[in-house]
Homo-oligomer: A and B are copies of this chain.
Amino acid sequence: MEQYSERLDGLFQAIADPTRRAVLKRLGKGPASISELAKPFDMALPSFMKHIHLLEDSGWIHTRKEGRVRTCVLDRKPFATVEAWLSEQRALWEGRTDRLEAFVTTQQKEEPE
């Protein structure tokens, strides 16, 4: 549970940044090299690499080096993790709405027509 919570911290922290979200978006279309990913950003390479490391450490992407080229690949599992968290929250309100509906229905039945 502790590990799951820490993983969520890292996943949400990673996507709380427009550069990192743009990198994920680009990788949604297929793998890309670091230099290709960095191209649209007016940013020094070491700064850009910090974003890449953060995405890799949190689990959103994997990287592999072939010769001199490092290629980045999107991992889809974190999307499922985030979706599961959202569903969990949604289930809470829906349970609440169900309970409210049940209450209202019961009240209506109990009231004389």
Interface residue ranges, A against B (CB under 8 Å): 5, 8-13, 15-18, 21, 24-25, 28-30, 74, 76, 79, 82-83, 85-86, 88-90, 92-93, 95-96
CA distance A76 to B84 in the complex (A): 16
The residue that A15 contacts in the complex, of B12, B17, B21, B79, with Cβ under 8 A, is: B12
Q: Which of A12, A74, A76, A86 has the most CB of B within 10 A?
A: A12
Please give me the residue from chain B that is nearest to A83 by CB atom.
Answer: B86
17 further contact pairs, Cβ within 8 A, besides A12-B12, A30-B96: A5-B18, A8-B18, A9-B16, A10-B16, A12-B16, A25-B88, A25-B89, A25-B92, A28-B93, A28-B96, A29-B92, A29-B96, A79-B86, A79-B89, A79-B90, A82-B82, A83-B86
A17–B24 touching, CB < 8 Å? no
- Residues of B contacting A95 in the complex (Cβ-Cβ under 8 angstroms): 29
